[in-house]
């Protein structure tokens, strides 16, 4: 107990010190932490072997994120443990970088093994095409990271103030286009990976670099003001939700090949309840470039944000605010100055949806791909599902690999016609169907992790959305809408990890069992939603949404999407730009409950 109390005391002192540093130079505390970290080392190495179950220093907790690791505790157990005078049930989230979501079968088998050996036995497919392990205890962290490294994967730079996992469209119907965007995703990802040897040193027992012997050519010593996200879309699919990214490349496909990319900048989801200075923004297109220009443009866009992003206030530090403050034209000319040429005019693009295409697809090279719905992106073996075992069995038989989709679903990829039956047999044994036995509403639903691991969650998401969808499926069936897709996304807080502001129905945690409901998002991820009702108790969500869905069934025009219907009928005003996200909110939406 004494040593715990001491740890907490020292953590408190170090926090105060950080805040003093911050107020001295006006920069946010994280800037000081990065500056003094020795290129992301801090005292992580020392803390790793201090015999504690947690990292006591605030700086190390922040720096761990750059290494793909978050200190968490089981929030379900907090009250009970506090009452019993026990420390929190600490464990770590381990995020694994998967550019473009592409995983080989042998990697899959190892990921599966590690999930069982070191994590809580589940494999979480995230909304950004990465893997997450939850529940890794501190004494297993180093071994987990080292074993991930052995299969050619890393946890490095998948969190923190750097470029995150680069997403790309997941489902190939045109094999050449997809291999091109996958190649590019990998290239951007490796080009923007920080150069510090800290990761190798701490986790892989790499040689120690003597002070001063290191450089970080793109990022510099203080990295970026905030996280940076890049995606590549292959229209007409917008499964990556391109417009939610700081930077997006939208493939222009002509005669079956990629002719180049439209460049879009300044998207992001996160906001805070009650703070109208924070809001989601859609990325906007600024021009067209060739494939050869993409990586350099990505680097220069990162540099503009590195140099101009707000380092004083983290809630205002994403590229979207840099652009909102300085203007899109300013950004374009600053980018063009750095790349040394003008972007060509953006070309015409249209998207048909931001969901996944489920079931079997044959690409033009003749290979099959099976995409199936993974509830909450969580592969597990439980009373309800044996999806984790199913994928293990398939990975043993199938050399074609897997693709994680940006909606947290999974594709078994590159299956030859001869092999298809064998895969189908395994799927049957484990009762895995493309739609998980659900409606189109369920297939187009997505949630973030939220409780019990996410420290920022205000309400349930992953554990609650399946039940709410079940309730709404009654309304769907009564109105003959089983095959009609409506996008529903739920998050435990307004950070927006499941991109709820780009759903037709967004349900965002406000407090335990209370949610803000957003309507009017575009089906293709092309329009933001707007607040419809605030602080709705979970028991009132179905009564609120069911009549709207029933009305949609009766009054929609041919092919009309739910989000468009809500706007046409005045249920909600359209949000044209991020900056008007908080405007035109119906007064009744703000009624406090």
Which residues would be at the binding site for ligand SF4 (CB under 6 A)? 448-450, 454, 456-457, 461, 491-493, 495-497
Query: Which strand ranges, in their side-by-side order, compose the sheet holding 505-511?
Result: 445-447, 488-491, 505-511, 514-519, 530-537
Smaller CB distance to ligand SF4: residue 65 or 357?
65
In the bound state with ligand SF4, the residue whose beta carbon lies nearer, of 94 and 457, is 457
Active site residue 493: yes
408 touches, from ligand SRM, ligand SF4, none (C-beta below 5 to 8 Å by class): ligand SRM
95 given a catalytic annotation: yes
- Cβ atoms < 10 Å from Cβ of 164: 23
| CA neighbours closer than 13 Å in the CB half-sphere of residue 397 | 18
Looking at the Cβ atoms of 56 and 496, the one nearer to ligand SRM is: 496
> Judging by DSSP bridges, how do beta strands 167-168 and 230-233 pair with one another?
parallel
371 is catalytic: no
Residue 245 Cβ, how far from ligand SRM at the closest point, in Å?
Answer: 7
Catalytic entry in 34, 124, 226, 229: 229
Asked if 371 contacts 415 with a C-beta cutoff of 8 angstroms, the reply is: no
DSSP code of residue 190: H
CA–CA distance, 158 with 541 (Å, rounded to integer): 35
Residue 289 catalytic? no
The two structure tokens encoding residue 406: 């940006």
Beta strands in 401-482 (DSSP E): 402-404, 410-415, 445-447
Q: Least Å distance between CB 166 and ligand SF4?
A: 20
* 168 included as an active-site residue: no
Would you say 378 or 561 has its CB closer to ligand SRM? 378
Residue 244 within binding range of ligand SRM, rule CB under 6 A: yes
Give the SS3 label for residue 247.
strand
Residue partners of 158: CB distance under 8 A and separation at least 6: 68, 95, 96, 97, 130, 164, 165
- Residue 70 interacts with which of ligand SF4, ligand SRM, none, CB < 5 to 8 Å by class: ligand SRM
Our CB check for ligand SF4 shows the closer of 375 and 491 to be 491
Q: Is 63 near ligand SRM (CB under 6 A)?
A: no
Q: Should residue 354 be labelled a site residue for ligand SRM when binding is judged by CB under 6 A?
A: no
- Residues numbered 412 to 451 that lie near ligand SRM (CB under 6 A) are 448-449
Going by C-beta distance under 8 Å and a sequence separation of 6 or more, which residues neighbour residue 186? 99, 100, 166
Would you call 510 a catalytic residue per the annotation? no
Beta carbon nearer to ligand SRM, 162 or 449: 449
Beta strands of 257-313 (E only): which ranges?
257-265, 284-289
Residue pair 233/242 in contact by the 8 Å Cβ criterion: yes
Peptide bond into 257 cis (omega under 30): no
Contacted by 493, from ligand SF4, ligand SRM, none: CB < 5 to 8 Å by type: ligand SF4
C-alpha dihedral sign at 73, 75, 77, 79: positive
The CA-based dihedral angle spanning residues 548, 553, 557, 559, taken in that order and rounded to the nearest 10 degrees: 110
- Cβ atoms of 321 and 329 within 8 Å: the answer is no
Count of residues interacting with ligand SRM (CB under 6 A): 32
Q: Which of 27, 93, 115, 502 binds ligand SRM (CB under 6 A)?
A: 93
Residue 342 CB, nearest distance to ligand SRM (Å)? Answer: 28
For residues 98 and 497, which CB has a smaller minimum distance to ligand SF4 in the complex?
Answer: 497
Query: Residue 491 binds which entry of ligand SF4, ligand SRM, none, with Cβ cut-offs from 5 to 8 Å by kind?
Result: ligand SF4
- Could you list the residues that contact ligand SRM (CB under 6 A)? 70, 72, 93, 95, 126-128, 130, 132, 158, 164-165, 229, 241, 244, 268-270, 318, 377, 408, 448-449, 453-456, 495-499
Active site residues: 95, 164, 227, 229, 448, 454, 493, 497
């Amino acid at each position: 107990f004494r040593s715990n109390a001491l740890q907490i005391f020292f953590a408190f002192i170090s926090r105060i010190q950080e805040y003093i540093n911050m107020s001295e130079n006006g920069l946010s505390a994280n800037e000081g932490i990065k500056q003094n970290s020795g290129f992301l080392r801090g005292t992580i190495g020392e803390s790793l072997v201090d015999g504690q179950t947690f990292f006591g220093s605030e700086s190390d907790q922040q720096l761990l994120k750059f290494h793909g690791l978050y200190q968490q505790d089981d929030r379900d157990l907090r009250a009970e443990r506090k009452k019993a005078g026990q420390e929190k049930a600490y464990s770590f989230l381990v995020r694994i970088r998967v550019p473009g979501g592409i995983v080989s079968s042998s990697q899959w088998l190892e990921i599966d093994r590690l999930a069982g050996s070191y994590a809580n036995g589940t494999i979480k497919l995230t909304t950004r095409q990465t893997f997450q392990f939850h529940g890794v205890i501190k004494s297993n962290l180093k071994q987990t990271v080292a074993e991930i490294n052995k299969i050619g994967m890393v946890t490095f730079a998948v969190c923190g103030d750097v470029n995150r996992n680069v997403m790309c469209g997941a489902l190939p119907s045109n094999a050449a286009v997809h291999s091109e965007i996958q190649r590019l995703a990998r290239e951007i990802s490796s080009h923007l990976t920080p150069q510090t040897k800290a990761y190798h040193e701490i986790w892989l027992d790499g040689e120690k670099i003597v002070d001063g012997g290191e450089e970080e050519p793109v990022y510099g010593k203080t990295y970026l003001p905030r996280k940076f996200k890049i995606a590549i879309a292959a229209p007409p699919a917008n499964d990556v939700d391109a417009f939610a990214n700081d930077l997006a490349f939208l493939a222009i496909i002509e005669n079956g090949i990629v002719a180049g990319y439209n460049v879009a900048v300044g998207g992001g989801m996160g906001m805070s309840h009650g703070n109208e200075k924070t809001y989601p923004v859609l990325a906007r297109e600024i021009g067209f470039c060739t494939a050869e220009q993409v990586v350099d443009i990505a680097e220069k866009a990162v540099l503009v944000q590195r140099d101009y992003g707000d380092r004083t206030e983290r809630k205002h530090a994403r590229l979207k605010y840099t652009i909102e403050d300085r203007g899109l034209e300013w950004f374009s000319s600053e980018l063009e100055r750095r790349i040394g040429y003008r972007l060509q005019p953006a070309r015409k693009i249209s998207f048909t949806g931001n969901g996944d295409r489920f079931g079997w697809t044959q690409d033009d090279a003749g290979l099959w791909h099976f995409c199936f719905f993974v509830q909450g992106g969580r592969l597990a073996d439980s009373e309800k599902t044996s999806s984790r075992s199913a994928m293990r069995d398939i990975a043993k038989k199938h050399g074609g690999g897997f693709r994680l989709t940006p909606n947290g679903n999974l594709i078994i990829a590159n299956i030859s016609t001869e092999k298809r039956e064998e895969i189908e047999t395994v799927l049957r044994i484990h009762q895995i169907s493309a739609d998980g036995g659900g409606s189109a509403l369920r297939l187009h639903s997505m949630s973030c992790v939220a409780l019990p691991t996410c420290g920022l969650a205000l309400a349930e998401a992953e554990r609650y959305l399946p039940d709410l969808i079940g309730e709404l499926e009654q309304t769907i069936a009564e109105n003959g809408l089983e095959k009609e897709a409506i996008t529903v996304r739920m998050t435990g807080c307004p950070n927006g990890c499941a991109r709820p502001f780009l759903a037709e129905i967004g349900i965002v945690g406000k407090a335990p069992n209370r949610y803000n409901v957003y309507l009017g998002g575009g089906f293709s991820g092309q329009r933001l939603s707007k607040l419809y009702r605030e602080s709705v108790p979970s028991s009132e969500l179905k009564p609120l949404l069911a009549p709207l869905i029933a009305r949609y069934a009766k009054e929609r025009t041919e092919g009309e999407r739910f989000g468009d219907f809500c706007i046409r009928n005045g249920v909600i005003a359209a949000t044209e730009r991020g900056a008007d996200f908080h405007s035109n909110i119906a007064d009744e939406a703000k009624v406090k409950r």
